[in-house]
Amino acid sequence: MSTKAEMIKELYPEDLFNYAELLSDGEVEVLAAARKVIEAEIKPVINEYWEKADFPFEAFYKLAEVGIMNSPKLYVGREGERKPSEIYTAFLYLELARADASIATFYTVHGGLGYNTILLGGNERQIEEFAPKIASFEWQTCFGLTEPDSGSDIAGGLSTTAERKGDTWVLNGAKRWIGGSDTADIIPIFARDVEDNKVKCFIVRKGAPGYHAEPIPHKASLRAIRNGHITLENVEVPEADRLENINGFADVARILVYTRADVAHIAMGITNGAFVAALDYTKQREQFGRPIAKFQLVQEKLARMQANAVATLGYSVRVAQLQEEGREAMTNSSLAKMHNSLRMRETVALAREVVGGNGITLETDVARFFADAEAIYTYEGTHEVNALIVGRDITGLGAFV
C-alpha cells in the first residue's frame, strides 16, 4: 500500500511547494479515490456532454460512492462536524476543476452554496432533515439568489417577493443562472419579505406548483452545467421550510464568503488542469524532429504556468486555513478569487498558445478550459467587484457608486 507521501507525489506533481502535505491520511485516500472515479467515469464523457450542453449525472454521482462529502475518513479528529476540513475542500475543488469546470461548478452549487445555506441558515431540525441527504447526494440542491436584472447589485434588494399568509409564504419573481435548478430536489430561494423588506430564504421542494425552471441555451462557457432560469408564480412554502437564521443580506453574505473562496479554488483547479494538459501535450507533440517541450519559448511559457499553479494553490490553501480557524472574511475571499481568476485567465491563454491549432479542439482539454475560464472569471463577483471589495478594505473608502 502506498504511503501518504507517495500518493501525494503521484496526485500533485505540480504542487512544488508541497501544500498537499497539510492533508490528513484519510483526506488523501478520499482524494485518490475521487481521482480514479474522475479518470474512469467523468473524463471519458465530459467532452460529449460539454458539446451537447448537458450534465453527466450518472458519472458524477459515482463520486457519492467515494464519499467526497461524508466519508468517515474525512472526519477523523473532526467528530461531530458537518463539513470536511477547508483544506480538503480546496483540494477537492482542485480534483474536480482540473478535470472540468462544469463538474466543479455543479459541486460548488450543491456542496458549497446549497449546503452552506442549510448549515448557516437552518435551525437544528432543518439541518437534521436536509444536511445528511445533501452530503450523501440522495438529494440535490442549488442556490436561488441571482436574478435576471440583478448581478453585482443584488445586495441592494431583490425583486423576488415573499408574502406571508398565515403559516404559508407565497413567492413571486424570477431567478437566473441557477445551476441545477431544473433537477434539484430542494431549492433555497432568496426573496424580499414585503412586510419588512428584508431578505429571507425559503426551501422550495421539487414539484412545487408554480415553480418552473428551464436551462439557459446558447452558452459558450460551462456548457455542461445546466444553468437555469426560474420563474415563481404564487409558489407556496410553509413557514416550517423558511430558514429562520436568514433575515437580511448580511446573513446571505456569510454564505458568500465561503462560496467566493470555493470559486477561487475552482480557478486554481482550472489553472492546474490547463497547465497539466499543456505540459502533457508539449512532451508528446513533435516539431522539427523533437518534442516542442524542448524549445526555449515553450519552456518559458510552461514555467509561467507552473508558477501560476503554485501561486493559486498557495492562495487557496491559506484562505482555507483561515476559514478552518474561524477567521473567514470577505476581503480574503475576494482577494483570492480576484488573484486566482487573473492567474487562471493567463494560464489558459498560455496553454492555448503552446498547444497551437489543436488548442481550439476539445481533444486536448485546453479549449474547454479556455472557454470555461471566462465564466469563472465573472461569476461569484466579477474581477472589478472583488477588486473594489479589496480596495474598500485597504483604503477605508467605498467606491462602488
Burial-class residue 285 by CB neighbours within 10 Å (0-12, 13-18, 19+).
middle
* CA-to-CA separations, 267 to 7, 311, 346, in angstroms, rounded: 23, 11, 11
pLDDT at 267 (0 to 100):
98
Q: What is the dihedral of CA 270, 274, 279, 282, to 10 degrees?
A: 180
Per-residue pLDDT of 164-193, as tens digits, reads: 999 999 999 999 999 999 999 999 999 999
Per-residue pLDDT of 127-170, as tens digits, reads: 999 999 999 999 999 999 999 987 655 656 689 999 999 999 99
Cα separation, 126 vs 128, in Å, equals 5
| Those residues with Cβ within 8 angstroms of residue 20's Cβ, 6 or more apart along the chain or in another chain | 8, 11, 12, 28, 91
Cα separation, 22 vs 68, in Å, equals 18
Q: Return the SS3 of 374.
A: helix
Q: What is the rounded average pLDDT for all residues in the chain?
A: 95
DSSP letter, residue 176:
E
Query: CA angle at residue 237 from 235 to 241, to 5 degrees?
Result: 150
pLDDT at 132 (0 to 100):
97
- Check whether 222 has a pLDDT greater than 70: yes
pLDDT at 219 (0 to 100):
93
pLDDT at 359 (0 to 100):
87
User: Which domains, from first to last, does the chain contain?
Assistant: 4-135 (1.10.540.10), 154-241 (2.40.110.10), 249-395 (1.20.140.10)
Cα separation, 222 vs 46, in Å, equals 11
Q: What is the mean pLDDT of residues 55-63?
A: 96
Q: Return the SS3 of 168.
A: strand
The alpha helices in 232-329, defined as continuous H runs, are 249-284, 296-324
151: region left, alpha or beta (phi > 0 left; psi from -120 to 50 alpha): alpha
Order the strands of the 186-193 sheet from edge to edge.
199-205, 186-193, 161-165, 168-179, 227-238, 211-215
Q: Quickly state the pLDDT bin for 1 (edges 50, 70, 90).
A: low
Q: What is the mean pLDDT of residues 263-290?
A: 96
Q: Are 336 and 230 in contact (CB under 8 A)?
A: no
- Put simply, whether the predicted model's pTM sits higher than 0.85 gets the answer yes
Q: Are 227 and 206 in contact (CB under 8 A)?
A: no
